[in-house]
């Protein structure tokens, strides 16, 4: 029997057709092995028969709301000048717009619309904490944000109308990397040069996956909506800076450089090898390699990274006694849409994270609470005392709201 070998990257297709069993056009394991973070892929009919849950007028209305992150990007073809405006917008801003060459982009629509949020279930092959948001853009005919790169993985789902995408896939083809320099004196970061290797027109239900730093340019063939499922990808500077802040905040003043083994130096001006060994020992005493310390820091960091709004408790939030009474009588606790949950195993038990707050719980309960969007009275009552304390602590901060039947809870105030 001959040994099976992985296909050479050069022979992998850039376009596949989805099937009912494989929405990615292949098993998720193969997609992650061959494409994720490595190679662009157009998936035809990834969402067959897709009908957008959000219409352009809905997006425009959302862009007028306080706390919503929205931008409008337009191009004056006569001068080549780009213009960028940030929201919130006014309703009267939209009727006078031309029928071409502008794009409205709204971030975090999954936090504001439950039907949009439900689309994230189709991306369960990825860690949930890696998914940042669903941005939706409406583009008039010719609308674009120019040729650019992103520093994170993104899935571009065509939701309405058609958009033409061009990409530069030379790196994935084993060719020299393109120039990623930006144009100067432009309102947005546009590539100085763009030489596409592939071009497609996407229809509703088609989805284009792009790894980081793949040059791409999308232009609306007609008025269209595009859903962008973007990932969280903090830079090394962000990771180091936040972790160092944690180390500094928790540093023990008693842990210092010490040299009780000091001997007379050959040269009093030299920082010798023994001095460096002592410095490393002092740094190691900060427990930089402690897996629980590092893991709990990362859980807090990643559940707050690029947070789009602050979760606040409603001004008339009920007490714990009132909430537990209502839960026993048919109410349930709904997770706030801006709340980000994750969990990790630790040396003993697990840690549950929510927007930078952490609770040490049994593994089963940390996993359960991270995965549930709502808790009814029976589920809450079956939790351990520590887990019930965690739920009520999070509810006091606004991460859970009490709801009755199909009623929507009061989500309080969010600040962008």
pLDDT of residue 176: 93
For the chain, list residues with pLDDT below 70.
1-10, 287-289, 406-416
Domain boundary among 185, 203, 231: 231
Same domain, 134 and 262: no
Same domain, 111 and 248: no
Contact 143, 100 (CB under 8 A): yes
Q: Could you tell me which of 399, 412, 409, 295 has the C-alpha nearest to residue 341?
A: 399
Q: Could you tell me which of 398, 367, 294, 396 has the C-alpha nearest to residue 128?
A: 367
pLDDT of residue 5: 42
* Number of domains into which the chain is organized: 3
Same domain, 345 and 394: yes
Same domain, 294 and 330: no
- Percentage of residues in the chain having pLDDT higher than 70: 94
- Cα(356)–Cα(341) distance, integer angstroms: 9
Decide if 172 is inside a domain.
Answer: yes
Same domain, 331 and 296: no
Whole-prediction pTM: 0.89
Decide if 114 is inside a domain.
Answer: yes
Same domain, 101 and 221: yes
Decide if 410 is inside a domain.
Answer: no
139: domain CATH number is 2.60.120.650
Decide if 2 is inside a domain.
Answer: no
Tokens at 318, concatenated: 């009920």
390: domain CATH number is 3.40.366.30
Per the DSSP assignment, residues forming a β-bridge with 148 are 216
- Cα(263)–Cα(390) distance, integer angstroms: 54
Decide if 3 is inside a domain.
Answer: no
Same domain, 181 and 277: no
pLDDT of residue 411: 42
Same domain, 13 and 139: yes
- Structural domain containing residue 384: 320-404
Decide if 203 is inside a domain.
Answer: yes
Decide if 217 is inside a domain.
Answer: yes
Q: What values do phi and psi take at 59, rounded to 5?
A: -65, -40
Domain boundary among 248, 273, 302: 302
Q: Could you tell me which of 216, 189, 219 has the C-alpha nearest to residue 202?
A: 219
Decide if 4 is inside a domain.
Answer: no
Same domain, 247 and 396: no
Same domain, 122 and 139: yes
Same domain, 178 and 194: yes
Taking only the tens place, the pLDDT of each residue in 112-148 is 999 999 999 999 999 999 999 999 999 999 999 999 9
Same domain, 253 and 330: no
Taking only the tens place, the pLDDT of each residue in 8-19 is 566 899 999 999
Domain boundary among 180, 202, 231: 231
Q: Could you give the C-alpha distances from 350 to 85, 293, 369, in angstroms and in order?
A: 44, 13, 12
């Amino acid at each position: 029997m001959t040994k099976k070998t992985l296909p050479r990257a050069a022979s992998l297709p850039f376009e596949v057709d989805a099937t009912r069993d494989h929405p990615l056009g292949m098993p998720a394991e193969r997609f992650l092995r061959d494409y994720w973070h490595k190679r662009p892929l157009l998936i035809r009919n990834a969402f067959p028969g897709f009908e957008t849950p959000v219409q352009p007028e809905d997006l425009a209305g959302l862009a007028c709301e306080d706390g919503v992150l929205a931008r409008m990007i337009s191009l004056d073809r006569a001068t080549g000048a780009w213009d960028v405006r940030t929201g919130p917008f006014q309703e009267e801003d939209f009727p006078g717009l031309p029928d071409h060459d502008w794009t409205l982009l709204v971030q975090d629509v999954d936090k504001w619309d439950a039907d949009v949020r439900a689309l994230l279930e189709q991306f369960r092959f990825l860690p949930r904490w890696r998914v940042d948001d669903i941005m939706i853009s409406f583009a008039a005919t010719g609308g674009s944000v120019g040729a650019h790169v992103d520093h994170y993985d993104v899935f571009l789902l065509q939701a309405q109308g058609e958009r033409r995408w061009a990409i530069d896939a030379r790196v994935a083809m084993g060719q020299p990397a393109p120039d990623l320099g930006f144009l100067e004196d432009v309102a947005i970061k546009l590539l100085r040069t763009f030489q596409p290797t592939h071009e497609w027109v996407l229809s509703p239900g088609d989805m284009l996956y792009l790894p980081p730093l793949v040059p791409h340019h999308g232009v609306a063939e007609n008025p269209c909506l595009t859903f962008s499922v973007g990932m969280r990808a903090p830079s090394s500077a962000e990771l180091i800076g936040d972790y160092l802040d944690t180390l500094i905040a928790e540093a023990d003043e008693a842990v210092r450089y010490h040299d009780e083994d000091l001997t007379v130096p050959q040269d009093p001006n030299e920082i010798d090898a023994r001095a460096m060994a002592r410095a490393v020992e002092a740094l190691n005493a900060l427990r930089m390699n402690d897996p629980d310390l590092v893991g709990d820091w990362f859980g807090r960091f990643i559940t707050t990274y690029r947070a789009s709004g602050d979760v606040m408790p409603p001004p008339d939030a009920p007490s714990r006694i009132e909430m537990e009474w209502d839960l026993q009588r048919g109410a349930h606790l709904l997770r706030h849409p801006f709340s980000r949950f994750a969990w990790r195993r630790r040396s003993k038990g697990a840690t549950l994270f929510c927007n930078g707050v952490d609770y040490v719980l049994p593994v089963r309960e940390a996993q359960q609470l991270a995965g549930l969007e709502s808790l009814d009275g029976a589920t809450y009552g079956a939790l351990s005392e520590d887990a019930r304390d965690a739920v009520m602590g999070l509810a006091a901060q606004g991460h859970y709201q009490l709801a009755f039947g199909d009623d929507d809870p009061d989500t309080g105030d969010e600040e962008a």
